[in-house]
Structure 1
Amino acid sequence: MRIGYFVSSIGISGGVKVVLQHVKILKELGHEAFLITKDIEGTWDVSETLVILKRNNLEDIPDCEIYIGTRWNDVERLFRRKVGKVVHLCQGYEPLKYWLRIKEEFIPEKREKKGILSITKRYFDMMKYRRKIDQVKSVYALPTVKAAVSRHLVELIEKEYKQRCFLIQNGIDTKVFYPDGRRTWGEDGEIRVLSVGSMHVGFKGIRDTLAAVKLLKGKGFNLKLIRVSPTPPSERELDEAIVDEFYERLNEKEMADLYRSADIFISSSLEMEGFGLPAMEALASGVPSILTEISSYKNFDEKRDFAYFVPTHRPDKIAEGILAFIENRALRERCVQQGLRVAQNYTLETTREHLSNFLQGIV
Structure 2
Amino acid sequence: MTGTKRAREGSGRVKLEEVASAANVSTATVSRVFNEPEKVSEAIRERVKEAARALNWIPNAAGRALASSRTHIMGAIIPTLDNEIFAHQVGGMQAVFSNAGYTLFLGCSNYDPLEGLRQAEAMLARGVEAIALVGESHPAELFAALKARNIPYVVTYSYSTRSEHPCIGFDNRAAFMRMTNHLLSLGHRRFACIFQPVANNDRVAARLAGVREALAAAGLQLADEDLLIGPSTLEFGAESFSHLMTRDGKARPTAIVCGNDNIALGALMAANALGLNAPKDFSITGFDDLAISSRFTPRLTTMKVDNQAIGTLAANQLLAIVAGQQASPKSEEVVPVLQVRDSSGPRPEERG
Normalising by structure 2, we get a TM-score of 0.34
Q: Which structure dedicates a bigger proportion of its chain to strand?
A: 1
Structure whose alpha-carbon radius of gyration is higher? 2
